[in-house]
Amino acid sequence: MTADWDKYGEWLFWAPHVIRHNGLYYMFVCAGNNQGHQYRIHLLTSKDLWHWERNLANPLLTDGFDARDPNVLRVGNQWVLYYTATSKPEGGNHLAACVTSDDLLHWANRKVVFTHPQTGTFGGPTESPFVVRRGESYYLFACDGGTINVYLSQDPFHWEFKDQVGAIYAHASEVVRDVDGKWYISHAGWEHGGLSLAPLTWHDGQDAADASLNPGE
């Protein structure tokens, strides 16, 4: 994919997140414009990961100073799209928000799921939100510069700042599993030496519990 400003209002693409459902790949990606940051989240679909079609309803969502860093999770009988934003278009508190969908195409019901006391515009301590379920526990991984802060909740739509349970030296992390079910966390960024993986060890007593991430195929 190449950003197309003249036709689609895409000055750049940023932080793509891809999932597969019923034989179709869905790419949720930040699309910036040429007037500062002002990221919005766009949707593209593909049958083969090579040829992508843009959703005619793009932009999928716009929120706060920026709407960036999408992460999609299946919760019950619906899809949840998490992303970072700010409480006001001119800035305000950094937060993680979400919208929900039944079909991955139409999104609504915006909720603020986590609010950080820090205020600002671009960047901030709620970048790259990534949610993992283990049993009945939901972990929110949120990037704050070179640290990933981890928050615990029993509710996939609400985390509290006081419920931080961990901190990991990493940036813009996602969590993955290999074919043997082992967990890993990624670390990326232009100032962080490229892309790397490290083993992720949990200490919550739920290694045998059902999780939102299955072992790789």
N-to-C CA span, the chain: 26
**Contact assessment for residue 141 and residue 152, using Cβ atoms and an 8 Å cutoff:** no
Using CA atoms, how far apart are residues 78 and 81, in angstroms rounded to an integer? 10
How high does pLDDT run on average in the chain?
94
User: How many Cα neighbours within 13 Å face the side chain of 84?
Assistant: 29
User: Model confidence over 166-211: pLDDT tens digits?
Assistant: 999 999 999 999 999 999 999 998 777 889 999 999 999 999 999 9
**The token pair that represents 180 in the structure block:** 């043997």
Residue 207 parent element (H or E): none
Per-domain residue ranges of the chain: 5-173
Q: Which H or E run contains 6?
A: helix 5-8
Tens digits of residue pLDDT in 109-120: 999 999 999 999
**Domain 5-173 carries which CATH code?**
2.115.10.20
